[in-house]
Amino acid sequence: MSRTPAQLAVVIGATGGVGGALASALIGHDAYDRVICLSRGSTPSVDLEKPDSLAKAADWLLKQSGEIRLVIDATGFLHDSAFSPERSLRDLDPAHLHKAFAVNAIGPALLMKHILPLLPRKGRTVFATLSARVGSIADNRLGGWHAYRASKSALNQLMRGAAIELARSRREAICVALHPGTVDTALSAPFAKTGLEVRPASEAAGDILRVIAGLTAVQTGGFFDHDGKPIPF
């Protein structure tokens, strides 16, 4: 008798606030035999600003025993010691734009390039990338945060195109963008001080996994919030 292949879940950005919470939740999940946690500090390393690292990580994943049934890209960039969200167009900076697009759009696009072909051709599989509601063009009523908004909008478009292509060879596959809400992490910390409502990473992770569990193939290419409600592009 042939044995059922091990069911694998992969979390990219597993050392971040949301990524770490997702990894912890998945490790105790009965649906997966193994949870693979990747980040800049893992072996292999995954650094979205180093395209070669993404190709090498995909090659490493290909050699692992089992079938990849879930991939969550929990990476993202909003601010660091050099850059903060812009208040107006006067604050636009080419280096900031470059950094935001490299981490929020180009890196995830290359992850999809290298990892989507590794998904099984039969059976349900999910690739979910964490986007943000502020990446919705239709929902933009305040302006500002230009680099973050635009790079997340680009991510949504790239995800949509990848989903269309993926469906041609894997009819049961699901490729989506998810908004986790405003989570209590280092990314949101400076803004929580100004009264922005945040919630625990463990709560966000639970919501994300519930949304993923309820998705069907007809929803591939969609953009959803942490309650599973569609967000306009």
The CATH number of the domain where 181 resides is what?
3.40.50.720
Who contacts 47 (Cβ-Cβ below 8 Å, separation ≥6)?
40, 53
Residue 136 maps to a domain: yes
Residue 2 maps to a domain: no
Q: Domain tally for the chain?
A: 1
Q: 3-class SS at 29?
A: coil
Q: Enumerate helices (H) and strands (E) in the chain, giving the number of each.
A: 7, 6
* DSSP, residue by residue, 86-107: -SSGGG--HHHHHHHHIIIIIH
Domain that holds residue 121: 7-225
One-letter identity of residue 206: G
Who contacts 171 (Cβ-Cβ below 8 Å, separation ≥6)?
217
9: left (phi over 0), alpha (psi -120 to 50) or beta: beta
**Consecutive sets of 10 residues in the chain, 233 residues long: mean pLDDT of each?**
83 96 93 96 98 98 97 96 95 98 98 98 98 97 97 98 98 98 71 67 96 98 97 97
Task: Count CB-CB contacts under 10 A for residue 219.
Answer: 16
Mean pLDDT taken over the chain: 94
Who contacts 217 (Cβ-Cβ below 8 Å, separation ≥6)?
124, 167, 171, 172, 173, 174
Residue 137 maps to a domain: yes
Residue 129 maps to a domain: yes
Residue 46 maps to a domain: yes
Who contacts 100 (Cβ-Cβ below 8 Å, separation ≥6)?
77, 83, 147, 148, 150, 151
Residue 232 maps to a domain: no
The two structure tokens encoding residue 219: 């929803």
Tens of pLDDT, residues 157-214:
999 999 999 999 999 999 999 999 988 876 655 655 555 678 899 999 999 999 999 9
Residue 231 maps to a domain: no
Residue 78 maps to a domain: yes
